[in-house]
A and B are shown apart, each in its own frame.
Chain A
């Protein structure tokens, strides 16, 4: 007779599965300084690589003289494009269907571009040698403005001369990359022409940078004895890096092992393939020794993938009652010197066409022109699913501008235009099928939580007091209701360099009832080792504490497309659930044999199979795991392991309602965030503690972007923001406390209903902060002002509105 204790509730708690704020397993190492990041790797005989970079934004490279550098003791090699050309590695393909110079081939196109790669015995000698490489440049005219670039006679990409089409269709000018369109242009323009009200605005989402605290780097080690290349690096997609490395180098894929060790934050910065990775590999092959390359912060900010830089011209039409009838958008997208955006191949503007947002808009059109300029390449999804941040900012600003045009309250305008809960699955005018949502419930909860009506009364009183000269501070109420599209994605339309964007999980249950599971993703701080074990624990009935999670080693993990675009939970998390179900199916057969009943006579109960109607007769997963290895079960292979490759049927659509209450000092331009309320609906919640942490972090990155962070250039292409002195990252002092809240609308197509959350706070946070600034000045006639809203720019808004007397 089996003992029926512990109780069902105790057994559920013991699993630490779904919904549990399980403490993170990663933290034990990290808090002791025992993480293992790429710069911590130290191999015998390891050399150090460092770049000679261009001081000019556009110049011909007349000559590169290595002699003095090579003469320095301890310098092993200096590589230039000439050295890479015989290997055909002086250029490399980008993720966006373009190509990019690995080392300057005849000219440079942005400040900080890689010109030569120095390899030396240590980092000090390498830095000395960089100074000794003599490069002769001939300056060329610089184009930093995408609108001017499309008019200019100056040809940036001479390598593309005569090519009237690129990877994404026709190019209409030598500095034009593509025009990408979605929606019904004619019908949208017709609606705009006959609408009661049309609001029009140019909204710039400025260039910024993910700036993870750990910069990018790699260690390449070519073992010439066994012909194997091992590459450790800051890779958000290690398996794709292996495939690309194989295609570029000609080394067979089984002879390449790519390892992402611990990663110190990614935020999209570590998705792409950078010249440093390629040069490290080549240098290791050439020298026969391991080569490490780790960029410094200036290199990271100047040359490694930027984000945003979208000039979004919008027109939104509505009835005089405020019902939105159409949306039109044209984007001039500054891609820099090479089109190195990290988007699924068929989406050169990512998922920007989620820009109808949370609203039921009958007709819409979006066109995006990609343009080359003399700026660093990139256009990565900085805590964002492929241009979703730009889209959310665009629509949430356009709605505010429309509210001004209509003289309506912006919360009410949103409410009357939300997609209703009964409209899901909802087909948007720009082609997406929103899987689920309940926007009205979330919105009402958010407005009630902050006492929205009370805030508006206080604001009106403040405006009056300001006009009477009793205060110099204004109050802004920043509203946002965002809808994201994450979890790329269905293989039928989502791929990166031809690799379908499925993901994977493989699990082995050990005889004593513990397990190891490996996935195709890689954590950069998201806590996968903690949360994926929770998904599995709930599926297979073994405690999360008994499940080791591993990611990032291509020799052991199943192939997957990596971690970015909030895809880990929607795709790899689904694979984890599915692989758990495979294990359970076999476990059921084993249990049936052990209990001498038919499989159909068993019920699953938390951590065991129980004979229907006989609760005292059961086998726990622990019993079953042991039996899988020590019993000869007729018709069944020994062992208990499985693999699942999950191709999602659709994206997931997390949403949220954010409200920021901000005090603004009209005379100094300083702001104070009095309250920030963030309601997120990410479907089924796996670990509330981790979700809350993600929301805090994403909101702080949003705060940075909205209130001061930018990558700025002067007219001759000098990057003016290449250190953390100039590039704003909020400290604990500037960062407010946030209040988090949630509703829970499970995704109907995801095995556990989860939607992903990591990027929501950045997508929704930026418009919430920005709208608060705008809202503070609405009573004084402000319609739109470009971000970032640093003190100087806010002061200028006040000044231009005549508020300084």
Chain B
């Protein structure tokens, strides 16, 4: 199968690769770029374990072709924080027990990150609605919602203090 030349920026780093037209973004991220944070849970866009950011939007990378990501800016969980400087959401999920098996967590946090860009001070209902594309089998969501609301408060408080 003829391969396509694809350039994309992942977590701030320029990447170039040849991919089949049918190759999925999640496979490029996980198998070519060794970014295994985003997971595959259903391959039909339902579970959200594969959620990454593409050009400022949350996408389910199991149903995005690599070719569609040509020229795109991608952020994955690996790009959100570093071991020495965790993202507020990463800290908050731990603080509020917003995860158990960890399989949905990278998608959850990546989606929550975008949600808080879209709506920096969401209500509980808005968090629940905004996160409805990401399934979790372990937590029952209560502590995920708590983690996100707490992170939003912390970010907003920090911004107010800075202003």
Chain A residues packing against B (C-beta within 8 Å): 23-24, 26-37, 39-40, 42, 123-124, 211-215, 262-265, 267, 294, 296-297, 524-527, 689-690, 692-694, 696-701, 723-725, 729, 731-733, 735, 737-738
The answer to whether A33 and B140 touch (CB under 8 A), given A296-B43, A526-B100, A731-B132, is: no
Is B49 an interface residue, CB under 8 A from the partner?
Answer: yes
- The answer to whether A30 touches B99 (Cβ under 8 A) is yes
Task: Please measure, in the bound complex, the distance between the C-alpha atom of A40 and the C-alpha atom of B38, giving whole angstroms.
Answer: 10
* Other-chain contact of A32, B77, B104, B132 (Cβ < 8 Å): B77
Q: Which of B126-143 contact A (CB under 8 A)?
A: 127-129, 131-143
- The answer to whether A724 touches B42 (Cβ under 8 A) is yes
* Other-chain contact of B49, A213, A525, A729 (Cβ < 8 Å): A213
B37 CB to nearest A CB, Å = 2
A686 CB to nearest B CB, Å = 14
Q: Which of B38-52 contact A (CB under 8 A)?
A: 38-44, 46-47, 49
Task: Please measure, in the bound complex, the distance between the C-alpha atom of A526 and the C-alpha atom of B31, giving whole angstroms.
Answer: 28
- The answer to whether A33 touches B36 (Cβ under 8 A) is yes
The answer to whether A31 and B97 touch (CB under 8 A), given A123-B27, A212-B137, A297-B43, is: no
Is B86 an interface residue, CB under 8 A from the partner?
Answer: yes
Task: Please measure, in the bound complex, the distance between the C-alpha atom of A202 and the C-alpha atom of B144, giving whole angstroms.
Answer: 39
The answer to whether A213 and B94 touch (CB under 8 A), given A31-B99, A526-B100, is: no
A269 CB to nearest B CB, Å = 10
- The answer to whether B132 touches A212 (Cβ under 8 A) is no
Question: B35's closest neighbor in chain A, by CB?
Answer: A33
- The answer to whether A213 touches B137 (Cβ under 8 A) is yes
Q: Which of B118-161 contact A (CB under 8 A)?
A: 127-129, 131-145
- The answer to whether A24 touches B22 (Cβ under 8 A) is no
Of the four ranges (under 10, 10 to 19, 20 to 34, 35 or more), the interface on chain B belongs to 35 or more
Show 5 A/B contacts (Cβ-Cβ < 8 Å), sorted by A.
A31-B86, A31-B93, A212-B103, A265-B103, A735-B142
Task: Please measure, in the bound complex, the distance between the C-alpha atom of A32 and the C-alpha atom of B90, giving whole angstroms.
Answer: 7
- The answer to whether A732 touches B105 (Cβ under 8 A) is no
B149 CB to nearest A CB, Å = 12
Is B16 an interface residue, CB under 8 A from the partner?
Answer: no
Name the prevailing secondary structure of the A interface residues. Answer: loop
Interface centre among A24, A32, A697 (most CB of B within 10 A): A32
Is B2 an interface residue, CB under 8 A from the partner?
Answer: no
A366 CB to nearest B CB, Å = 31
List B contacts of A29 (CB < 8 A): 102
Question: A27's closest neighbor in chain B, by CB?
Answer: B94
List B contacts of A735 (CB < 8 A): 128, 140-142
* Other-chain contact of A693, B86, B95, B133, B139 (Cβ < 8 Å): B139
Task: Please measure, in the bound complex, the distance between the C-alpha atom of A145 and the C-alpha atom of B22, giving whole angstroms.
Answer: 41
Task: Please measure, in the bound complex, the distance between the C-alpha atom of A212 and the C-alpha atom of B102, giving whole angstroms.
Answer: 12
- The answer to whether B100 touches A699 (Cβ under 8 A) is no
Task: Please measure, in the bound complex, the distance between the C-alpha atom of A262 and the C-alpha atom of B103, giving whole angstroms.
Answer: 9
* Other-chain contact of B105, A30, A123, A527, A738 (Cβ < 8 Å): A30
B96 CB to nearest A CB, Å = 9
Name the prevailing secondary structure of the B interface residues. Answer: loop
List A contacts of B27 (CB < 8 A): 123
- The answer to whether A27 touches B99 (Cβ under 8 A) is yes
Other A-B pairs, 9, CB within 8 Å; known A731-B131, A737-B142:
A27-B102, A265-B103, A525-B138, A527-B100, A723-B44, A731-B132, A732-B127, A732-B144, A738-B140
Chain B residues packing against A (C-beta within 8 Å): 20, 22-23, 27, 30-31, 34-44, 46-47, 49, 76-78, 81, 83, 86, 89-91, 93-95, 97, 99-106, 109, 127-129, 131-145
- The answer to whether B140 touches A697 (Cβ under 8 A) is yes
- Top 7 nearest A-B pairs (CB, nearest first) are A33-B37, A525-B101, A264-B103, A30-B102, A696-B140, A33-B77, A700-B140
A208 CB to nearest B CB, Å = 13
Task: Please measure, in the bound complex, the distance between the C-alpha atom of A263 and the C-alpha atom of B43, giving whole angstroms.
Answer: 18
* Other-chain contact of A264, B31, B36, B101 (Cβ < 8 Å): B101
A529 CB to nearest B CB, Å = 11
Interface centre among A28, A29, A30, A40 (most CB of B within 10 A): A30
- The answer to whether B100 touches A693 (Cβ under 8 A) is yes
Task: Please measure, in the bound complex, the distance between the C-alpha atom of A723 and the C-alpha atom of B150, giving whole angstroms.
Answer: 34
- The answer to whether A214 touches B41 (Cβ under 8 A) is yes
Task: Please measure, in the bound complex, the distance between the C-alpha atom of A527 and the C-alpha atom of B78, giving whole angstroms.
Answer: 22
Interface centre among A24, A265, A729 (most CB of B within 10 A): A265
Task: Please measure, in the bound complex, the distance between the C-alpha atom of A35 and the C-alpha atom of B95, giving whole angstroms.
Answer: 18
- The answer to whether B103 touches A213 (Cβ under 8 A) is yes
- The answer to whether A724 touches B46 (Cβ under 8 A) is yes
List A contacts of B137 (CB < 8 A): 211-213, 265, 267, 697, 701, 729
A726 CB to nearest B CB, Å = 10
- The answer to whether B101 touches A32 (Cβ under 8 A) is no
- The answer to whether A524 touches B101 (Cβ under 8 A) is yes
List B contacts of A212 (CB < 8 A): 101, 103, 137
* Other-chain contact of B94, A28, A262, A526, A723 (Cβ < 8 Å): A28
- The answer to whether A32 touches B83 (Cβ under 8 A) is yes
- The answer to whether B143 touches A693 (Cβ under 8 A) is yes
- The answer to whether B131 touches A732 (Cβ under 8 A) is yes
The answer to whether A31 and B34 touch (CB under 8 A), given A264-B103, A701-B137, A725-B44, is: no
A101 CB to nearest B CB, Å = 26
B40 CB to nearest A CB, Å = 7
Task: Please measure, in the bound complex, the distance between the C-alpha atom of A27 and the C-alpha atom of B137, giving whole angstroms.
Answer: 16
- The answer to whether A729 touches B135 (Cβ under 8 A) is yes
- The answer to whether B42 touches A297 (Cβ under 8 A) is yes
- The answer to whether B23 touches A124 (Cβ under 8 A) is yes
List A contacts of B22 (CB < 8 A): 124
List B contacts of A214 (CB < 8 A): 39, 41, 101, 103
List B contacts of A733 (CB < 8 A): 128-129, 132
B91 CB to nearest A CB, Å = 8
The answer to whether A124 and B31 touch (CB under 8 A), given A214-B101, A723-B42, is: no
Question: A524's closest neighbor in chain B, by CB?
Answer: B101
- The answer to whether B103 touches A37 (Cβ under 8 A) is yes
List A contacts of B103 (CB < 8 A): 35, 37, 212-214, 264-265, 525
- The answer to whether A33 touches B100 (Cβ under 8 A) is no
- The answer to whether B100 touches A525 (Cβ under 8 A) is yes
Interface centre among A33, A39, A296, A724 (most CB of B within 10 A): A33
- The answer to whether B128 touches A263 (Cβ under 8 A) is no
Task: Please measure, in the bound complex, the distance between the C-alpha atom of A35 and the C-alpha atom of B108, giving whole angstroms.
Answer: 14
Task: Please measure, in the bound complex, the distance between the C-alpha atom of A30 and the C-alpha atom of B104, giving whole angstroms.
Answer: 9
List A contacts of B128 (CB < 8 A): 731-733, 735
* Other-chain contact of B101, A33, A39, A265, A294 (Cβ < 8 Å): A265
Task: Please measure, in the bound complex, the distance between the C-alpha atom of A31 and the C-alpha atom of B47, giving whole angstroms.
Answer: 18
The answer to whether A262 and B102 touch (CB under 8 A), given A32-B77, A33-B77, A732-B145, is: yes
The answer to whether A24 and B94 touch (CB under 8 A), given A696-B142, A697-B100, A701-B137, is: yes
List A contacts of B143 (CB < 8 A): 693, 696
* Other-chain contact of B102, A525, A698, A699, A700 (Cβ < 8 Å): A525
* Other-chain contact of A26, B30, B102, B127 (Cβ < 8 Å): B102
Task: Please measure, in the bound complex, the distance between the C-alpha atom of A296 and the C-alpha atom of B90, giving whole angstroms.
Answer: 28
List A contacts of B91 (CB < 8 A): 31
Question: B102's closest neighbor in chain A, by CB?
Answer: A30
List A contacts of B140 (CB < 8 A): 696-700, 735, 738
Question: B42's closest neighbor in chain A, by CB?
Answer: A297
Task: Please measure, in the bound complex, the distance between the C-alpha atom of A297 and the C-alpha atom of B55, giving whole angstroms.
Answer: 28
B133 CB to nearest A CB, Å = 8
